[in-house]
Amino acid sequence: MKTLAALAILLAAPVLVHAQAKSCDDLKAEIAKKIEANGVKNYTLDIVDKGAQTEGKVVGACGGGTKEIVYSKTAPGSDTSSASAAPSSPSTPAPSK
């Protein structure tokens, strides 16, 4: 009986760990929210491969430990907060008659 219980725990452990892991985009959004709550406006958050040479401070890890989220300050007036900026889509022209 103890062997069966131990086997059930071992089989369930990877499922539980995977369920707790957040996607990189979700974690990046959470970090951005905290940064902006502190009044910071000029920054970027970039998702990079773990160990990649980047300028900035690693503020999170995701992707099962294969990716890192890097915080960098930007110059005032260069509204480049990549955490909250949505990619712009090209405007579509109105259909011609």
The structural domains of the chain, with segments of one domain joined by +, span 21-84
Question: What proportion of the chain, given as a percentage, has pLDDT over 70?
Answer: 58
Is the pLDDT confidence value at 8 over 80?
Answer: no
Q: Choose among 86, 87, 85, 24: nearest CA to 59.
A: 24
What was the pLDDT predicted at 49? 95
What was the pLDDT predicted at 20? 55
Burial-class residue 24 by CB neighbours within 10 Å (0-12, 13-18, 19+). Answer: middle
Question: What proportion of the chain, given as a percentage, has pLDDT over 90?
Answer: 48
Strand segments (E) across the chain: 43-49, 57-62, 67-73
Is the pLDDT confidence value at 32 over 60?
Answer: yes
Radius of gyration for the alpha carbons in the chain, expressed in angstroms and rounded: 20
Answer whether 31's CB lies under 8 Å from 56's CB.
Answer: no
What was the pLDDT predicted at 7? 45
Q: What is the mean pLDDT of residues 9-25?
A: 61
